[in-house]
Amino acid sequence: MNGQNESFGGLARPDAIGVSLFMVSVKGPNGAVTISHGRNQRHPVTVNSNDATCQSSWPSDSDGSTAVFRLSRVRPCLINRLAFGLIGLGWTLAGNGMTARSAEPEPVPAADEQFETIVAPFLARHCNDCHGGDAPEADLSLTRFGRTAEIQDNYDLWERVSRMIEHREMPPADVPQPSEESLQAVLVALRGQLDSFDCSGESRPGRVTVRRLNRVEYNHTVRDLFGIDFRPADDFPSDDVGYGFDNIADVLSMSPILLEKYLASAEQIVAQVFEDPETRKRVEIESAKPGDGWAARLRSDVSALARRAFRRPVDEEEVDRLLAIAVGPGDRDAGPPREPRGRRSGFNRYFREGRSTNQPLRIAATAILASPHFLFRIELDPEVSTEAADSGSQPDPDQPAIRPLNDHEVASRLSYFLWSSMPDAVLFELADEGKLRHPEVLEAQVDRMLNDPKASALVDHFAGQWLQLRDLELLSPDPQRYPAFDDTLRKSMRQETEKFFEAVIREDRSVLDFLDADYSFVNERLAKHYGMEGVEGDEFRRVELPPQRRGVLTQASILTLTSNPTRTSPVKRGQWILDNFLGEPPPPPPAGVEELNEDDETLGSLRERMEQHRANPACAVCHRQMDTLGFGLENFDGVGGWRDVDGRFPIDPSGELPGNVQFSTAAEMLGLLSQGRRDAFARRLTEKLLTYSLGRGLGPFDRCSVNGILDRLADDEYRFRTLVKAVVTSDPFLYRELTGAP
């Protein structure tokens, strides 16, 4: 095939899952063969080849289907024979009984030609009237795509379009519908576009803006730098949030009032450190005496403190500048003082004026804490020469546009990711030795750091924001509707979810436990709220959950967060699942749509009122899946307690997920999500964790790295620590694009 991309498509017969489809893509020059079908599952397949034979072993997955088949370095003739043989002879997706039939298949066009001949006409007939013009619905315009999908820059857009067509959410029910043949053809073509996303080019690890320590990181860094229990950042202005987290570099700005707070805080910290002889030992080697190498020891103390505070080695010039601030310039001709030099020496001036012998160190420490190198996490790129900058010359195209982070930069990324604090002595030592970047060393450090009590920061600040547990403090359920709710119960709700997350980390459990775990952690107060017996006292313990509760979605914290003050909200609950767990956030409601009155029982049960609301085609598209997920949790009231009726109406939690998959209880729904949507959940969690670890939002160029992390996660039973290790050994974590890179 000489490096050409070829694709073949067909239909599989309907079964209980619904009409399915498959596509074979042969991509050169390495000879990768991809076989996919409408359920979008992906599995590795082992292929052995030699001059005469091509043998393959086909794995089975949870639903018995095989979806992806890849060959590397297989002769083109064998690939041709394999591709045509699979389609000419037909093949079966085991367990589902779906047989692909095509006696003499004709090759379909390449991806761009396929888009122009199949996708673009489909969009023109069924989509562009609403998703075009100056004010496209859902702010989604498709009319600009006529000849190509521009998949490298618009992957998320086309994935969303493909998903909505496959789930029959688009075109809306009130407009003429495409034939099943036309719909399946466009799905095959869109899948071909998505599969054509190219990960073979040069890596794009992205780059992070100079990143200020947020309030949590500042407090933790002060704690670990000096060993004092002091939280000065609690009085700082709140940090802005981007991409769901408050450690995103692009939104962590520096205001004048924050700068004033930093200066005042530096003085307060130093005062506390030097008041306590134990903490003073962290910055002062021994008492200074004139004529006994005092200046040398001061230099050593300042250098050691700056190195730890800046999280990297410091050079002599940096230390000289700090000493000049601490004791004055000394003899003008002699430069910054290193030892006492006569009557004009800054050192002798301190002794002559009877000042404290540790005053220079106090001043230097204050300057260090006010330095940008302490307040910001700075990853310096190689400087452009003055001549090149003046001439406006472009970077040398023969030079790499990315650079590996040095070991100290990796140490800083790792420690602020897992501990929200500075590196410890072990990380500093490994960085000094140049060993930390080695994958086996990095992964060993992940295990060590996750076993450390400081890893609770990952629970507090990653889980606290991903699962939105921080917002629990802001909620006030109606005391008349929920008289049992109080601050003690609120605190217990949050602790349950935090202890659950801690167990997933500590025991290295599957991340799918978030969906369908049959265990949790409760104390007496929470057990009573859940109707569980045999639990006494305030201490939390691990318990087996009753059949109706599974994973975190049936924990009271999440159920309360996704409710209104006076009642449940299936819309909020469904939207929360789609956004935080499945990565399919629905668009904002169309303008002019009347909001649902959820409290008017004269119009029927809440489910009946929602069905009336969905009668508006503009609402039905998004609400169909949102409401299904939300009503699946309707047996849980506004604060997570169990109920069988809502007012005078019996509760019906049943529903149907895309693919005509039905459920009758919350536990069944969560089980189906764990099996059928595990890949979507794993991807969303990976994207969230990678965003948090990097301190930046993800772009299309990050997709290849995310895919690599997901492959490794799936290969190790979705274990949480494997996810963390895959993140910290990924290109975005270990490399950065240089300034001026495309």
At 434-461, the pLDDT tens digits run: 999 999 999 999 999 999 999 999 999 9
Lowest mean pLDDT, pick from 259-268, 445-454, 645-654: 645-654
19 three-class SS: coil
Residue type, 443: E
Give the pLDDT of residue 620: 60
Q: What is the mean pLDDT of residues 496-525?
A: 98
Mean pLDDT of 539-562: 97
Who wins on pLDDT, 120 or 565? 565
Length of the chain: 742
Mean pLDDT of the chain: 79
Q: Which residues are 404's β-sheet partners?
A: 735
Which residue is it, tokens 């043998």? 55
What is the C-alpha to C-alpha distance for residues 468 and 561, in angstroms, rounded to an integer? 8
**Is the pLDDT at 137 greater than 80, yes or no?**
no
**Cross-strand pairs, 27:** 5, 32
Q: Which of 289-293, 570-574, 643-647 has the lowest mean pLDDT?
A: 289-293
Tokens coding 499: 């202890």
pLDDT at position 177: 84
Structure tokens at 92: 């079966």
pLDDT band at 54 (very low <50, low <70, confident <90, very high): very low
- pLDDT of 361 higher than 50: yes
pLDDT category of residue 357 using cuts at 50, 70 and 90: low
**Residue 686: pLDDT band with limits 50, 70, 90:** very high
Q: Which helix (H) or strand (E) holds 156?
A: helix 151-166
CA distance 300 to 391: 42
> What is the spatial distance between Cα 417 and Cα 409, in angstroms, rounded to a whole number?
12
Q: Which two tokens stand for residue 647?
A: 């007012």
What pLDDT, on a 0 to 100 scale, did the predictor assign at position 607? 73
Omega of the bond prior to 171 within 30 degrees of 0, cis?
A: yes
Q: How confident is the model at residue 598 (pLDDT cuts 50, 70, 90)?
A: low
What gap in Å lies between CA 612 and CA 631, rounded to an integer? 15
Average pLDDT over residues 593-613: 62
Contacts with 111 (C-beta within 8 Å, 6 or more apart), sequence order: 5, 7, 149, 151, 192, 193, 196
How confident is the model at residue 710, as a pLDDT?
97
pLDDT (mean) for 276-301: 75
Name which of 385-389, 471-475, 513-517, 552-556 the model is least confident about. Answer: 385-389
Q: pLDDT per residue over 94-122, tens digit each?
A: 333 333 333 444 444 466 677 778 888 88
Cβ-based neighbours of 421, under 8 Å, separated by 6 or more: 217, 220, 221, 223, 224, 415, 454, 457
